Amino acid sequence: MALTGAVPPMPADPALIDDLVAANRILYNEGVVDGFGHVSVRHDRSPERFLLARSMAPGLVTAADIMQFGLDGEPIEPQGRTPYLERFIHSEIYKAQPAVQAIVHSHSPAVIPFGVAAGAALRPIYHMSSFLGTGVPVFEIRDAGGPATDMLIRNPALGAALAKSLGDAAVGLLRGHGNVVVGGSLREVVFRAVYTEVNARLQPGRRERPPKPIAASMAARGTCGKRGRWAPGVEPRAADSWPQGRLPLLPPMRVRGTAQRSRRLAGRCKRLGDSPRVVPTLA
């Protein structure tokens, strides 16, 4: 049952809302999201609710744009604001995994080929991405929605299928679409989303010498190998510049034109041994 108009919104900690705004800005600054993508956090006073901005470009989000949602994915007192179409990514993962406190969905460009190139698994190749060591499943929407979807998670059934595919992994890929990242806090999920993209940029390496990923035993003990468990000192360093809206650990990525990005995407797919044409057409 939709919660719209049925119950009033419950005030969230203003500091949590400020952190959610900062998370949107950081993810935009680091090139993980552009005009699309979204980040949410579970409500601090009610685990049956979560906070997510209205449908808008993440880099422009302010505190006034933050909305509350129930686990049915419906907004609580939307006040005329339009929610993201793919909010069911968030609602169904929160419903399925009580330990998850924050979620990022993005189309971060370097990650896309790993969801479409046959035999190319996204694996951790350095310590900052050790959380990938638990495995990165690939969600095939055609298995849940049939052969003619628009590839968007636009209803609870598709969200539930994605949550099931994700399982206990920290990161899951949506074939031909993007990725979803989960964490035990906003700061952790932003960290993971940024370093998932960085790892993907680094992983292809030289064609004649594919990189050797770090061992699973090392990944489990890495910088952030388990959900909600940071290595000592990592979270404070990653969050030093949180109020300024960017991570201090790497320079911002350059925003490139669509045509140039498409050429780079095709090149990465070829290096991974496949072609982006394996993505089903939407016509």
Q: How confident is the model at residue 198, as a pLDDT?
A: 95
Tens of pLDDT along 10-25?
999 999 999 999 999 9
At 268, the pLDDT band (50, 70, 90 cuts) reads: low
1 pLDDT exceeds 70?
Answer: no
**Catalytic residue of the set 30, 74, 86, 92:** 86
List pLDDT tens digits, range 47-83: 999 999 999 999 999 999 999 999 999 999 899 999 9
Q: Which of 174-178, 268-272, 275-279 has the lowest mean pLDDT?
A: 275-279
pLDDT in tens, 205-254: 434 345 555 456 545 555 454 444 555 555 554 555 455 554 443 334 43
CATH code of domain 14-239+249-278: 3.40.225.10
- Measured over the CA atoms of residue 15, residue 17, residue 23 and residue 24, the dihedral's sign is negative
pLDDT (mean) for 137-151? 91
The rounded distance, in Å, linking the Cα atoms of 55 and 37 is 10
**64 exposure class (CB count in 10 Å sphere: 0-12, 13-18, 19+):** exposed
197 is catalytic: no
Q: Read off the pLDDT of residues 79-128 as tens digits, 9 standing for 90 and up.
A: 999 999 999 999 999 999 999 999 999 999 999 989 888 778 899 999 99
What is the average pLDDT score of the chain? 80
Q: Read off the pTM.
A: 0.77
Domain boundaries, the chain: 14-239+249-278
Mean pLDDT for 193-198 is 96
Does residue 276 carry a pLDDT above 90? no
Q: What is the DSSP annotation of 11-28? A: PPPHHHHHHHHHHHHHHH
